[in-house]
Structure 1
């Protein structure tokens, strides 16, 4: 069972931030298609017999490193977009595996040191009327996306909603080892979302077939108290 609230306290954060205006777009895939992209230490986590891949654009706000007091401004806000799937380590614990991470702030490329697949690019998030728009393109290669959603009413999350949005550790692989990064934040306040426009090539760039089914979409105004823990090898 996936927990709606954080599974652990991050007492010594390596990074603090807010994740705002986040949209979750999910597609179901055959598990073997996703498993082929994972390291041997991880297995695809399934829901209703399918592997799920999430396309999640958002705004990173008030990013600050350890020791920077709250009264000192953090980094300027910038956009980020993740393509992720859901996995379990051989010890049974669930988490995220990132197929790609698009970043508008070059400083975030430092996460490559622990295997995070960060790609610098030109990204934007904007709102007009009742619609939120996301666009992005990599500086190297031709992977890009354009998404326009219309957030709906707040919802009480179902079991599947929680399963798709609430994960409390991320796995990466570097130097022949699996690394784990814990995360803590308040539960996502979720809303329904209608997808008006969705054009993306991130999935095919990651080695997946282009999605053909209608996606499952959610929107959240975000969480403002994100604490990323120290990345460490092993489980």
Structure 2
């Protein structure tokens, strides 16, 4: 096996479906990272996912729409909101690839304590705005309210033509789960979605405090940005990860 071998298509989720949602107007901005510098940020039982000696950190703002829990319909108020993630790339001893979140900023205060308690992910409450400007550029704005009040992120991208992802870009976007501490154990939460329709994106403006606040230090130049109109995503039941 080579380090590039990974699942380019999601495996079917075993029922029940825990969450069903749409990720819309997504921008991916990535930097390379030395794996040893972030190893301490991963929960027990998983480690940085590495390709050609590097791992990566992503700044990923988007809109989350039409959230459903189980077989329930879309949830009013909680079902649609903006979100900005700082994420790392993970793999566990069973070879399950995923992401580890350093932070998830959301505009919905009520989600923060629930998600932290039930799903082990570091949600924070922020004032957020996502809009398409008159010239067609997409602008994402976030200013944190709690915790670490005042941290801000502003990103504007110009969306270009559709592109075929490189091998590395496929590796960064074909992530079929997340690793998190839930109930005192490390769990892998599987997800499934269709292929990302990707466009090249020009970073017009980027002022960001969130990456530095995460403690992650890039080890090289920023990769080309990507934008997507989005996909429908579903999450399955968490799987316990062996920690030794």
TM-score, normalised via structure 1 length: 0.91
| 1:160-193 deviation digits (Å, cap 9, x = unpaired) | 1110111001010144310121111111111111
Match of 1:221 in 2: 229
Match of 2:119 in 1: 114
Deviation at 1:205, TM superposition (A): 1.1
Matched, 1:82 2:89: no
Task: Indicate the structure with greater strand content.
Answer: 1
Match of 1:181 in 2: 189
| 1:68-122 deviation digits (Å, cap 9, x = unpaired) | 247x878552101111111111222211111111111234322212311111111
C-alpha separation in 2, matches of 1:169 and 1:57: 18
> Which of 32, 37, 44 in structure 2 is aligned with 1:33?
37
Match of 2:145 in 1: 139
3-state DSSP of counterpart to 1:163: helix
Q: Do the aligned residues in 1 keep the contact of 2:68 with 2:79 (CA within 8 Å)?
A: no
Q: Do the aligned residues in 1 keep the contact of 2:32 with 2:218 (CA within 8 Å)?
A: no
> Which of 153, 165, 169 in structure 2 is aligned with 1:161?
169
> Which of 10, 13, 19 in structure 2 is aligned with 1:9?
13
Matched, 1:150 2:158: yes
> Which of 94, 97, 101 in structure 2 is aligned with 1:98?
101
- Give ranges in structure 1 of 5+ residues lacking alignment: none
Gap change, CA 1:44 and 1:222, over 3 Å in 2 = same
Gap change, CA 1:107 and 1:211, over 3 Å in 2 = farther
Deviation at 1:211, TM superposition (A): 7.2
Q: Do the aligned residues in 1 keep the contact of 2:32 with 2:220 (CA within 8 Å)?
A: no
Deviation at 1:210, TM superposition (A): 6.4
- Give ranges in structure 2 of 5+ residues lacking alignment: none
Deviation at 1:30, TM superposition (A): 1.1
Q: Do the aligned residues in 1 keep the contact of 2:43 with 2:180 (CA within 8 Å)?
A: no
> Which of 130, 146, 151 in structure 2 is aligned with 1:125?
130
C-alpha separation in 2, matches of 1:158 and 1:98: 23
TM-score, normalised via structure 2 length: 0.88
Count of aligned pairs: 233
Gap change, CA 1:68 and 1:139, over 3 Å in 2 = same
Match of 2:212 in 1: 204
RMSD (CA atoms)? 2.0
